[in-house]
A and B are shown apart, each in its own frame.
Chain A
Amino acid sequence: MKRYALRQLLQLGVVVVGISMLAFAILHVIGDPVLLLLPLNAGKEEYERYHKLLGLDKPVYVQYWKFASRAVQGDFGKSWYTDTPAFTLVLERMPPTLYLTSAGLVAALLIALPLGILAALKRHSLVDNLCTMLAVAGQAMPIFWLGIMLIIVFAVRLKALPASGYGTWQHFLMPAFTLGAFLAPLTMRLVRSGVIEIMNMDYIRTARAKGVGENTVVVKHAFRNACIPIITVLGLQFGQLLGGAIVTETVFAWPGVATLTVESIRNQDFPVVQCAVVLLALIIVSVNFLVDMIVGLIDPRIRLG
């Protein structure tokens, strides 16, 4: 297990460095940040002065080396727009996004687990068909549209919830549900097929033959084994969830790191984009690492293989 973990950790490092290089290269390709930093009517002299001030007159590899050697010490430089450390900016906006994605994940599980198990146990019944319909609808529905619909119903018409913003538990309900609805369909289908497959296994028949109660069979034997692919997919979906968070944060005016990143890309605020990309990559890679570890713990075949 130790060696397995070590190997995974090493891969993690390589991935993060690779991503930071890629992000750096892409940022340099998409355009000139000074064009955006200065007013439209700024002259050539101002333009060149800024290029020098930001160190953009140096070759790209020199710029990357400067960035990387500082970044390993936790110094990502200062935002070109706000003149505050990029690390502080990104860290400040990280909690709202983590709260939102966690709440979205919980919402997704709350929807997907019961419905998935129910659909598997009542296969080919009306309940199963309804669940399938719900999953297809959920997958087809753009997050953006669902968010706006919820706002119109619960904030504008019923006046039951605040339309947007951040701060109280009421502010959480609509964004979490929106993000959950985005992740739930796939998870539900996985739970359903996993449980169906396992319910046909020999050991389930044995358990039943031994006279074990149906609830124990489903929860302890079937669901537990069905968890392995679900956890793996949830880990892989975490990146998707952050992608969904960008739209959710925009619709609900949620002050998270996802919108900060998109805005910084638009502004070509290199230090902030770099910092956000590296930290988000670290989070995604760590989540995947954790998933690998958990799955390895649950299923000895994986860590031995």
Chain B
Amino acid sequence: MRRTLVSGSALFLLLALGCPPAADAQTRDDTLVYALQSDVDTWDPPNSVLREAIILGYHVFDHLAVRDLKTRRVVPNLALSWKALNDTTWEVKLRQGVKFHDGSPFTARDVKATFERVLDPTKKMTARGNHAKIKSVEIVDDHTVKFHTDGPYPIFVERLTALVMASEKVIKDKGHEWMQEHPIGTGPYKLVKWDRKHEHLLVRNDEYWGPKAPYKYVRIRIIPEQATQIAELISGGVDVIKAVPPDQIDVINKSGQARTASSPILRTAFLQLDQAARSGPNPFTDRRVRQAANLATDMDGIIKHVLNGLGDRVATAVNPMAFGFDAGLKPYKQDLAAAKKLLAEAGYPNGVDIVYNQGPPTVEPGLLQTDEAIVADLTKAGFRVKQNYVGDNTVFVARIKDSKAGPMFSFSWGYYSVFDADAILYDIFKCKETYAYYCNPAMDDLIIQGRSTLDQKKRAEVYAKAQKLAFDDAAYLFKWGLRGVWGISNRVDYQAPPDEVDRMFLVTPRKK
């Protein structure tokens, strides 16, 4: 028996130790290591809803347009220029001399094939909804295309940043299934290998049409545990990590190995109040109760003391980085006396009972801590808040969609990276939309007006009115715009991106 055990153990050890894959040829100096919390499901970005897929997509593919990280405006990329010929037709001129990783040239045929693939209703492509306003794509010549849209489509240019260009040859010859694991783009890096749930290895595309990436190799490691990511960062195993929790900032900054950087990101957080009574009659159908909630809470104090300043106070849910944001509108200031008075006027002189459905902190840093502070403030004004924590995000989101999250629940919205007020107003403030617990025909009018014209000046005016209305009507309990925190090794230089898309081709060795 003993012999069996010993030889068995030896076999296990042998098995265990005999598996390492061959070491890679790259050296530490020409390799950049980036960590992600979870892996992508596919290398076909339009077939994924994950931010990780968007991030990886930027490295291997190109978009027709991209965001300038300094001005936050959309600027040309594979498209050189665009103009609206009329309300429903856009003409786009394409860059010449661009090559896919397989050597074939990028032309108008690829643009047409890419859009047609995503728009095909028989295909399982998750990005279809984002581009469904496009009716057809017409090839004018090798480097000019026309897009025909279903009605005016003011965020057309914004949406050009949301689809990577694939090759017509690959789409037709290789097909959907092959594309899930073999990205052939025109981007600054090429995929060398993908070891699922473990790591991706990218190598620089030396034929790239734009500026060459400083690092020859990029390793993207999947490290699910945040504490492990931070340990890797300060022990030199990883160069860039994202979504650092506020309480870990000091650990990184005092390590001498790495530092943190923060940037406002295109996501606003707020508490939805069930004004539309989707979950049944509740006190928040009365505007005075909603106003009282906004007046009861000291959001500035919470940002300063609980979030260490990592938030940007907003008057409504429209993010300061979105087109149409009205900086002139000032947020609610805490006034407990006024809040109590409004509650009394609404028929609750002795306070009111409220159930608060809280979701897990999957995207919002410090959510649980700030929630406690908000509840404490609400209590002072006479809201007797019963907290109902839903620990699973799937269950929580399903409950919201099912109209079961009222009368009050935590929420944040990431705009799908469309820097435009429409990207939150339509989804969150329009009657009967999946996530909207607010319904006001006057607001619906403004939202529809805003998306029915291509005149940006007029749109800005309409959105200013919409924000004023949301504020006066205290549509929701407004919080702040979020800030992301990155951990960056002292061996590199990197600017934290406002669109939450990390671009490793912009990382440079640190100047000594």
Contact = CB atoms under 8 A, between A and B. Distances in A.
Interface of A: 30-32, 35-43, 46, 49-50, 53, 79-84, 89, 92-93, 95, 98-100, 102-103, 105-106, 109-110, 148, 151-152, 155-156, 159, 162-169, 171-172, 176, 219, 223-224, 227, 250-253, 255-256, 259-260, 263, 266-268, 298
A106 B13 contact: yes
**Which size class do B's interface residues fall under?**
35 or more
B416 A39 contact: yes
B129 A219 contact: no
24 contacts: A31-B395, A32-B398, A37-B49, A39-B127, A39-B129, A46-B129, A49-B121, A83-B47, A83-B180, A93-B196, A102-B15, A102-B16, A103-B16, A148-B228, A151-B228, A165-B221, A165-B237, A169-B20, A224-B2, A227-B1, A253-B221, A253-B225, A253-B228, A259-B224
B49 A39 contact: yes
Determine which residue in A103, A105, A164, A266 has the highest number of CB atoms from chain B within 10 A of its CB, and name it.
A164
B235 A163 contact: yes
A170 B447 CA distance: 58
A159 B401 CA distance: 48
Contacts of A176: 16
Contacts of B1: 224, 227, 298
B232 A164 contact: yes
A110 B228 CA distance: 27
Interface string B147-183: 0000000000000000000000000000011001100
Nearest to B17: A169
Interface string B395-412: 101100100000000000
Nearest to A78: B177
A53 B129 contact: no
Interface string B14-26: 0111011100000
A284 B416 CA distance: 43
A252 B222 CA distance: 10
A47 B181 CA distance: 25
Contacts of A227: 1, 5
Determine which residue in A32, A83, A92, A103 has the highest number of CB atoms from chain B within 10 A of its CB, and name it.
A83
A159 B42 contact: no
A82 B180 contact: yes
A174 B416 CA distance: 40
Nearest to A79: B41
B394 A106 contact: no
Determine which residue in B126, B181, B228, B397 has the highest number of CB atoms from chain A within 10 A of its CB, and name it.
B228
B411 to A, nearest CB: 11
A46 B2 CA distance: 62
B181 A163 contact: no
A82 B228 contact: no
Secondary structure at the A interface, as helix, strand, loop or mixed, is helix
Contacts of A152: 231
A50 B5 CA distance: 52
A93 B278 CA distance: 44
B2 A219 contact: yes
A41 B221 contact: no
Contacts of A43: 129, 434
Contact of B197 (A83, A251, A260): A260
B126 A38 contact: yes
Interface string B211-225: 000000000011111
A82 B196 CA distance: 11
B364 interface: no
Contacts of B116: none
Contacts of A165: 198-199, 221, 237
B377 to A, nearest CB: 28
A99 B416 CA distance: 40
A35 B49 CA distance: 11
Contact of A39 (B13, B17, B130, B237): B130
Nearest to A266: B394
A194 to B, nearest CB: 13
B68 interface: no
Nearest to A168: B20
A39 B127 CA distance: 8
Contacts of B398: 31-32, 35
A106 B12 contact: yes
B235 A105 contact: no
Given A35-B394, A251-B225, A251-B227, 12 more contacts: A41-B129, A41-B427, A42-B126, A42-B129, A106-B13, A109-B9, A163-B235, A167-B21, A176-B16, A250-B224, A255-B197, A263-B197
Given A165-B221, A253-B224, A35 B17 contact: no
A206 to B, nearest CB: 20
Given A31-B398, A32-B398, A263 B15 contact: no
B409 to A, nearest CB: 14
Contacts of A159: 235-236
B505 interface: no
A110 B12 CA distance: 13
Contacts of A298: 1
Contacts of B184: none
A149 to B, nearest CB: 10
A129 B197 CA distance: 43
Contacts of A106: 9, 12-13, 16
A129 to B, nearest CB: 27
Determine which residue in A109, A167, A168 has the highest number of CB atoms from chain B within 10 A of its CB, and name it.
A167
A244 to B, nearest CB: 15
Given A37-B126, A82-B42, A103-B16, A255 B224 contact: no
B196 A255 contact: yes
B405 to A, nearest CB: 13
Contacts of B29: none
Contacts of B124: 50, 53, 80, 83
Contacts of B223: 164, 253
B435 A40 contact: yes
Nearest to A162: B237
Given A32-B398, A151-B231, A252-B228, A102 B42 contact: no
